[in-house]
A and B are shown apart, each in its own frame.
Chain A
Amino acid sequence: MGKWSWGFLFLAFAFASSIAAERNPRTERISGSAGDVLEDDPVGRLKVYVYELPSKYNKKILQKDPRCLSHMFAAEIYMHRFLLSSPVRTLNPEEADWFYTPIYATCDLTPTGLPLPFKSPRMVRSAIQLVSSSWPYWNRTEGADHFFVVPHDFGACFHYQEEKAIKRGILPILQRATLVQTFGQRNHVCLNDGSITIPPYAPPQKMQARKIPLNTPRSIFVYFRGLFYDVNNDPEGGYYARGARAAVWENFKNNPLFDISTEHPTTYYEDMQRAVFCLCPLGWAPWSPRLVEAVVFGCIPVIIADDIVLPFADAIPWEEIGVFVAEEDVHKLDTILTSIPPEVILRKQRLLANPSMKRAMLFPQPALPGDAFHQILNGLARKLPHQKSIYLKPSEKILNWTAGPVGDLKPW
């Protein structure tokens, strides 16, 4: 009799607490196709060995141009720094699951701050030659248990123009390695199966400093600031963004619900926090830091990029968080957005309000649990254990070291 009454009390308590938890939730748990993995801790699940490359591959490049620390490709530098002091790092390469080669390939900047990718293939090639000759681990698997951070426009295709990038394809010696890149588009040469897509770097302190009180009512329906036509490179339109941004402008410039323009307001971050939807259309490449900004500021991202693969797509259920609009449906964007039921919109806002979602998009220094660095490590951990087939027999060779354009073969 005593046991029954205890059991009953316990059930009643559990019931009551679950009811109390349900009332007016502000955030919702995020579970993607990989499960509730945003809060997983990678420590103890994998070991990473960081190759000690001469500083001409990393530190000297950074010294030449410290702007690399704040542009949107800065993830490669911060990842290196994070790994150097992380508990997953091991100094014994025999027990490592993954090998990291710190090359800052995206740090050759023009005077205006844009990275030139022309020397990157040679740099990567020379680094890998060094790695394969100084350590036996590359030749063991021909790089299948190595990972590289390549945050440039089209990833390891190392070009900013899509046609040229497609023509080059992924650098042949990186074909077996895992690439951690910002670019993601399905059925595209520059995205290998098994690559990990990451968000571009956005400065966390800057965004944190510009937060406004949460009870400021969201009064802008759709918000976008950026180019619609790239008059320097594509004056007629139709090339840039596959015509999608121009279509947004032409169809909605007269619509008061759409706060879109090419201005650079100083209140850009504050305005995003006052908007319900933030457009994230493709530009010359499908990814953009707007997605990170929208997630951090709680504005529902409207993604207009066909076949795009968004960051951490197996851990974050982007379909439930953002709104995907096909490029051919852009002219119906207002119909699409106004026909979303309010409950769905509120649910998306609740998912966005989840702090683990915001943390997963950022690269804070020092690293915090659940941030993008940890999500990358989680992604790498999910690929373990390595299949036996990646280990090659001693004389077996799969990669063609002389493939690719002739210019790539020159030493760096």
Chain B
Amino acid sequence: MKLSALHQSYLSRRSNSFRSSGPLDSSSDGGYKSPAAVFWIILHCLCCLISLVLGFRFSRLVFFLLFSTSSSNLYTPPFRSAVELAKTLDVHSVLSTNSVANNFRLPFPNKTASNSRVVVGRHGIRIRPWPHPDPVEVMKAHRILERVQKEQRLQFGVKDPRTIIAVTPTYVRTFQALHLTGVMHSLMVVPYDLVWIVVEAGGVSNETASLIEKSGLKTIHVGINQRMPNSWDERHKLESIMRLHALRIVREKKLDGIVMFADDSNMHSMELFDEIQNVKWFGAVSVGILATSANIDESSDRKEEEENPRMPIQGPACNASNMLAGWHTFNTLPFAGKSAVNIDDRLTVLPRKLEWSGFVLNSRLLWKDGEDKPDWIKDIDMLDGDVESPLGLITDPSVVEPLGSCGRQVLLWWLRVEARADSKFPPRWIIDPPLDITVPSKRTPWPDTPPELPVKEKPEMGIQEPIVKHTTKTRTSRSKHRSKRKHETRTDTQVSTKHSEQN
């Protein structure tokens, strides 16, 4: 910055006097030069002339060969004082082999003139034979960084972090791998202890189990025997039941920590996990709702959009003194009549008024015999029916603590994207046997093409392409795409219908 700008211009000014050591230097050598000095000057001029002729500084080479004390693995050996002598005009003053400085000191009888290794003048630049990072050392450095960051967290981060208990309702379907892997990766990076309770509709399956065991987290995988229904309303209800089931597990096992609801299609930020450590009993965070769909852009008024372009957010609302004053909920009016009812509808999926994922609670609230359990929590064994949001678990909604600077920070996002109900996918996403399955699905959006073009012809098509003329190229590539679609398992989403037609 300023310093090195100073330094650079300092040195550029130095260059004038360095090269010429004449006019600016008021402390000149005086007019008288000793014969030794004259001799060195002549030698220097001679070397310069020869170098001019040859095109490189041969004097360096000569002195290197004559005087060098190099060790084998050096790129350019450090030239000791004899070599620098030839370069500088002040030669007669810098004479000793080892300790330059000692010649000039006024004698201090107590000081032993120790051999200083530090020599003024040109030194070699040591470069080791393989100037690249060594992987073992890189790993060591990363471990050091981890340890330093852990210490930083201990000192400046959350004091006494509590275990996080994440509750995820899930079921086997095409998009499960996508969503669950996302949540799993988020949870794997959380720097606190974590327990992951996965509740599966339709019973415990190998599909989900194989996904979860890759996480390396402490998981509790349970199933309930109902299957996921097709209508969104009923799905929400079943998910609430599944979450209550998970809360019962927390109670039975007396898990201690902070319960948060990590729905598998949500996206969580890491700051969320830091922020929920601050909850005392029952807290709420702001959830961003990503519930747009293409239809909205078309059909709604331009004007309306410009008035309200912001993303809808669910969460606590605070008054000026940072106390909970109310709730921001999702406004369903713009979507009236245009929201998806069944899972196959290509319309917007709406969230509930207040999503479960925006709430966190201390697990001690759920224990049967808590020491200082507040009295506004209902006993979950008494609850039977549908609890639409965790506010149904408490009697007094004003005790909820708003987190994330009073709801101003959006720490997670809600989205529901699912494949069609009849969409199939290879079990565990392993294609075995390879690409021989053709599964026709009903109500395809594109006109039916005859099921031709098995796998073997594909390389032929590939070879044909360069020979085929430009005009027909597009057609072959389009049908190639189509055949690919027929052979591979189809997954289509209700959101991107328009895009699929364009290929």
Residues of A within 8 A of B (CB): 24, 26, 71-72, 110, 112-114, 116, 118-119, 121, 160-164, 166-169, 175, 185-189, 193, 213-215, 217-219, 221, 225-227, 230, 232-233, 236-239, 242-244, 246-247, 250-257, 264, 268, 276, 283-284, 288-289, 306-307, 327-328, 330-332, 334-335, 337-340, 342, 345-346, 349, 405-408
| Given contact pairs A167-B104, A188-B101, A407-B26, a sample of 15 additional A-B residue pairs in the complex whose CB atoms are under 8 Å apart | A114-B13, A164-B25, A189-B104, A233-B12, A233-B15, A239-B122, A243-B123, A247-B126, A251-B126, A251-B127, A251-B131, A254-B131, A264-B4, A307-B118, A349-B148
CB neighbours (8 Å) of B26 from chain A are 118-119, 407
Does B442 belong to the interface (CB within 8 Å)? no
Contact status of A284 and B116, CB under 8 A, knowing A218-B152, A276-B148, A328-B126: no
B residues 11-51 near A (Cβ < 8 Å) are 11-15, 17-18, 21, 24-28, 30
Is B90 an interface position by the 8 A CB rule? yes
A227 engages B126 (CB within 8 Å) = no
Q: Which of B8, B12, B13, B157 meets A215, CB within 8 Å?
A: B157
Closest A-B pairs by Cβ, 9 of them: A112-B9, A405-B27, A114-B10, A215-B156, A243-B123, A187-B116, A338-B140, A407-B26, A342-B147
Given A215-B152, A349-B148, A408-B27, verify A335-B132 contact (CB < 8 Å): no
B132, A255: Cβ atoms under 8 Å?
yes
Question: Across the interface, do A221 and B127 meet the contact criterion of CB distance under 8 Å?
Answer: no
**Would you give the shortest CB distance from B410 to chain A, in whole angstroms?**
20
Q: Select from chain B the residue with minimum beta-carbon distance to A343.
A: B147
Stretch at the interface among B106-114, B330-338, B389-397, B494-502: B106-114
> Are A218 and B124 closer than 8 Å at their CB atoms?
no
Whether A218 and B14, one on each chain, are in contact in the complex, defined by CB atoms closer than 8 angstroms, is no
Instruction: Say yes or no: A118-B25 contact (C-beta < 8 A), given A250-B131, A254-B131, A342-B148.
Output: yes
User: Do A112 and B131 touch (CB < 8 A)?
Assistant: no
- On whether the beta carbons of B127 and A250 are closer than 8 Å, the reply is yes
Bound-state CA distance A244–B123 (Å) is 9
Chain A residues whose CB sits within 8 angstroms of the CB of B99 once the complex forms:
187
A251–B137 CA distance with the chains assembled, in angstroms: 15
Does A71 lie within 8 Å of B76, measured CB to CB?
A: no
Chain A residue numbers with a CB within 8 Å of B1 are 264, 268
With a CB–CB cut-off of 8 A, which chain A residues contact B104?
A: 166-167, 169, 189
Q: Does B203 contact A (CB under 8 A)?
A: no
A358, B440: Cα distance in complex, Å: 73
Complexed CA–CA distance, A276 and B152 (Å) = 12
A243 to B76, CA, bound (A): 11
Complex: how many Å from CA A239 to CA B120?
A: 8
Distance between Cα atoms of A342 and B151 in the complex (Å)? 10
Question: Cα distance A188–B104 when bound, in Å?
Answer: 9
Query: Which B-chain residue is minimally distant from A226 (CB atoms)?
Result: B4
Beta-carbon contacts under 8 Å, B185-225 to A = none
Q: Is the CB of B131 within 8 A of A284?
A: no
- Are the C-beta atoms of B148 and A255 separated by less than 8 Å? no
Which chain A positions have C-beta within 8 A of B4?
Answer: 225-227, 264
Q: B223-262: which residues lie under 8 A (CB-CB) from chain A?
A: none
Q: Are A24 and B155 in contact (CB under 8 A)?
A: yes
B93 at the interface (CB under 8 A from A): yes
How far does the Cβ of A278 sit from chain B's closest Cβ, in whole Å? 14
* B6 near A252: Cβ-Cβ < 8 Å: no
Chain A nearest Cβ from B157, distance in angstroms: 5
A230–B116 alpha-carbon span in the complex (Å): 25
In the complex, the answer to whether A166 meets B120 with C-beta atoms within 8 Å is yes
- Report 9 cross-chain contacts, Cβ distance below 8 Å, ordered by A residue: A113-B10, A214-B155, A218-B148, A227-B8, A232-B12, A233-B12, A335-B137, A337-B141, A338-B138
Closest B residue by C-beta to A168: B27
Tell me the complex Cα distance, A160–B8, Å.
13
Q: Are B131 and A163 in contact (CB under 8 A)?
A: no
Residues 124-168 of B at the A interface (beta carbon under 8 Å): 124-128, 131-134, 137-138, 140-141, 143-145, 147-149, 151-157
Q: Does B424 contact A (CB under 8 A)?
A: no
Contact B93 A167 (CB under 8 A): yes
A105 nearest CB across to chain B (Å): 15
Check A284 against B11 for contact (C-beta < 8 Å): yes
Chain B neighbourhood of A237, CB < 8 A: 125
Interface members, chain B 427-446 (any A CB < 8 Å): none
Could you tell me the distance between the alpha carbons of A187 and B157 in the complex, rounded to whole angstroms? 47
* Beta-carbon contact of A407 and B28 below 8 Å: yes
**A186-B128 contact, Cβ under 8 Å, with A227-B4, A230-B11, A334-B133:** no
| Complex Cα–Cα for A225 and B1 (A) | 9
A251 touches B128 (CB 8 A): yes
Contact between B117 and A233 (Cβ–Cβ < 8 Å)?
A: no
Contacting residues, chain B, for A166 (C-beta < 8 A):
94, 100-101, 104, 120
Tell me the bound Cα distance from A233 to B4 in angstroms: 15
- Cα-based distance from A116 to B121 in the complex (angstroms): 22
Question: B7 at the A/B interface (Cβ < 8 Å)?
Answer: yes
Query: Nearest residue in A to B144 (C-beta to C-beta)?
Result: A342
Are A257 and B125 in contact, with the CB atoms below 8 A? no
Residue B463 is within 8 A (CB to CB) of chain A in the complex: no
B105 within 8 A of A: yes
Chain A's nearest CB lies how many Å from the CB of B342?
46
Q: In the complex, how many angstroms separate the beta carbon of B340 from the nearest chain A beta carbon?
A: 42
Kindly identify which residue among A215, A254, A407 contacts B132, using a CB–CB cutoff of 8 Å.
A254
| Known contacts A114-B10, A289-B3; A238 and B94 CB within 8 A of each other | no
CB distance from A411 to the nearest CB of B (A): 13
- Kindly state the separation between the CA atoms of A306 and B148 in the bound complex, as whole angstroms: 28
Q: Is B5 an interface residue (CB 8 A)?
A: yes
Task: Please pick, from B100, B126, B144, the residue contacting A330 in the complex, using a CB distance under 8 A.
Answer: B126
Q: Which residue of B lies closest to A244 (CB)?
A: B123
CA A187 to CA B21, docked complex, whole Å: 26
Instruction: Confirm or deny: B102 has a beta carbon within 8 angstroms of a beta carbon on chain A.
Output: yes
* Chain A hits for B144, CB < 8 A: 221, 276, 338, 340, 342, 345
The minimal Cβ–Cβ distance linking B36 to chain A, given in whole angstroms, is: 16
Q: Check if B69 is an interface residue, CB within 8 A of chain A.
A: no
In whole angstroms, how far apart are the Cα atoms of A195 and B266 in the complex? 66
With contacts A276-B148, A334-B133 known, is A187 near B101, CB below 8 A? Answer: yes
Q: How far is the CA of A408 from the CA of B116 in the complex (A)?
A: 29
> Whole-angstrom distance from the CB of A213 to the nearest CB of chain B?
8
Chain A residues lying within 8 Å of B124, measured Cβ to Cβ, are 238, 243
CB distance from A170 to the nearest CB of B (A): 9
A217 to B131 Cα, complex, angstroms: 28
Please name the residue on chain B nearest to A121 by beta carbon.
B27
Instruction: Find chain A residues with CB under 8 A from B149 CB.
Output: 217-219
Contact of B120 among A163, A230, A254 (CB under 8 A): A163
User: Which residues from A are CB-within-8-Å of B9?
Assistant: 110, 112-114
A12 to B227, CA, bound (A): 64
In the assembled complex, the CB of A340 is this many whole angstroms from the nearest CB of chain B, namely: 8
**Bound Cα distance from A384 to B225, whole angstroms:** 88
Q: Determine if B148 and A345 form an interchain contact, defined as CB atoms under 8 angstroms apart.
A: yes
Name which residue of chain A comes closest to B119, CB basis: A242
Contact indicator A189/B127 (Cβ below 8 Å): no
Identify which of B30, B88, B137, B154 contacts A163 (C-beta below 8 A): B88
Contact yes or no, A254 B125, CB < 8 A? no
CA–CA, A327 and B126, complex, Å: 9
The distance in angstroms between the C-alpha atoms of A257 and B137, with both chains bound, is 10
Among A175, A250, A268, the residue within 8 A (CB) of B125 is A250
Picked from A110, A175, A236, the residue with its CB within 8 Å of the CB of B13 is A110
Neighbour of B128 across the interface among A163, A189, A276, A332, CB < 8 A:
A332
Is A247 touching B133 in the complex (CB atoms < 8 A)?
Answer: no
Say yes or no: B152 contacts A214, CB within 8 Å: yes
Closest Cβ neighbor of B146 among chain A residues = A342
Contacts of B11 in A (CB 8 A): 230, 232-233, 284
A283 to B3, CA, bound (A): 12
Using CB atoms, name the residue of chain A closest to B87: A239
- Report the bound CA distance from A337 to B133 in whole Å: 13
Beta-carbon contact of A193 and B108 below 8 Å: yes
Q: Within the complex, what minimum Cβ distance (angstroms) separates A229 from chain B?
A: 9
Selected contact of A334 from candidates B94, B111, B125, B137, CB within 8 Å: B137
Q: Which residues of B contact A187 (CB under 8 A)?
A: 99, 101-102, 113-114, 116, 118
